[in-house]
Structure 1
Amino acid sequence: MDADEVGPGDENAVRLAGRVTGVAPIRVLPSGDAVQTVRVTVGRPARRGEAGRAAVDAIDVACWTAQTRRVAGRLGVGDRVEVEGALRRRFFRTGAGAASRYEVEAGRIRRTRSVTTARAASPPSG
């Protein structure tokens, strides 16, 4: 099978549920396309025998559509989100040469809990 062919049963689907730890400004690329990146941090379950060691994955989510950029633009650090999309490998040039990285391309992004709503719902301390 050629690398460009899609075979029966092939699927590239990602679902994330985590906390926003960064929102980059919208970038307009030389092609004219606009993209906004949101970093989502997702906790990992503890491994056997490693109690107390919290591990997380920090995953960059690329928002290419107007709808996903609109949602991303309203997010704040600490908000909880759900993302549905696909894993993509992006190639680019750096001063050191060609490079690549993986990111999730958002097909849908939804805030499930706002950090400001969570603060407002918490009783005052003291």
Structure 2
Amino acid sequence: MSLAVIDRNDVVLRGRLSAPPELRPMPSGDTLLVFKLVVRRESPRPRGPRSDVITCVSYAPALQRYAAAWTVEDVVEVEGSLQRRFWRTPTGTAVAYEVNCRRGRKVSRASARPD
């Protein structure tokens, strides 16, 4: 059995932007799009958090151009994969989980309502 059949890493998120998308130049010369989505939990515990803030990134130039028009509170849907990234800091190694987005689109609030 091939790994393509065994492994699957597909993420689809729909939520609202908590801050404007940011373009960050990387040491490699690439540009990274970074934005955060607030996604409500389906069944939150009575005293627990009702939502999660998910960091999303993309190196895709088309998505970077499209996301430039997104503003705070826009409802956005993205598709991508979950990744864990490591980098060095002055105090040691840091780690983060992010959704590496290959596609994204702004969603009208009317179509974003749950059924």
Instruction: Please report the TM-score for the alignment, with normalisation by the length of structure 2.
Output: 0.84
- Unpaired runs of 5+ in structure 2? 110-115
C-alpha distance after superposition, 1:24-66 (max 9, x if no partner): 4311111011011010000012346x2x866101001102110
Corresponding residue SS for 2:65: helix
CA distance in 2, matches of 1:53, 1:89: 25
Aligned residues: 108
Specify which of 71, 75, 79 is matched with residue 84 of structure 1. 79
1:78, CA displacement in angstroms?
0.4
Amino acid paired to 2:31:
A
Distance 1:88 1:54, change over 3 A: closer
Specify which of 11, 18, 27 is matched with residue 30 of structure 1. 27
CA distance in 1, matches of 2:74, 2:11: 19
CA distance in 1, matches of 2:4, 2:48: 40
Specify which of 5, 8, 29 is matched with residue 8 of structure 1. 5
Distance 1:40 1:47, change over 3 A: closer
C-alpha distance after superposition, 1:71-100 (max 9, x if no partner): 221100000010000001111111211111
Equivalences for residues 22-101 of structure 1 within 5 A: 22-47=19-44, 50=46, 55-101=50-96
CA distance in 2, matches of 1:81, 1:7: 29
Max radius of gyration: which structure? 1
| 1:113 paired to 2:96 | no
- The answer (yes or no) to whether the contact 1:19–1:79 under 8 Å persists in 2 is yes
- The answer (yes or no) to whether the contact 2:79–2:102 under 8 Å persists in 1 is yes
RMSD: 2.0
- The answer (yes or no) to whether the contact 1:23–1:37 under 8 Å persists in 2 is no
Instruction: Please report the TM-score for the alignment, with normalisation by the length of structure 1.
Output: 0.77
CA distance in 1, matches of 2:44, 2:74: 26
Amino acid paired to 1:89:
R
Give percent identity, aligned residues only.
35
